[in-house]
Structure 1
């Protein structure tokens, strides 16, 4: 039976070596942000908002032209490692 991720960690790699991690509750939420915000403005030097989950009062903005790579990682909360 395939497991379902609880959320998705998206690692943003930016010019200059800076890395940041943000989380999305579903892959569809990530795809909506990616295709609606990041891709249309990929060559722009104007800031775009990056959603930050569960951090009230904080926000992050990036210049889309400075994002050089993304890594999307499923996160599973119910994992139990058993050593037999």
Structure 2
């Protein structure tokens, strides 16, 4: 049985060589945000809000047209799986 990740680190590779990381607790939350917010405005120079759920009181805005790549990395907090 495949292991379930505890959270997902999302890395945005931004024009100019910048790299930003946000974390999502569920991959479905990221997919929903990606398909409903980022994709429809992919060529836009207007800022969009990137949800940062694990950092209270902080937020990030980015221009969708400046995002060159996105990397998704599953994070497993437990090192040993027991049944």
Same fold (TM over 0.5): yes
TM superposition score normalised by structure 2? 0.92
* Cα deviation, residue 27, structure 1: 0.8
Structure 1 runs of 4+ with >4 Å offset:
none
State how many pairs are aligned.
80
Residue of structure 2 equivalent to 1:4: 4
Residue of structure 2 equivalent to 1:29: 29
Residue aligned with 1:54, SS: coil
Residue aligned with 1:39, SS: helix
List runs of 5+ in structure 1 lacking aligned partners: none
Residue of structure 2 equivalent to 1:72: 72
TM superposition score normalised by structure 1? 0.91
Aligned ranges 1:41-80 → 2 under 5 Å = 41-80=41-80
List runs of 5+ in structure 2 lacking aligned partners: none
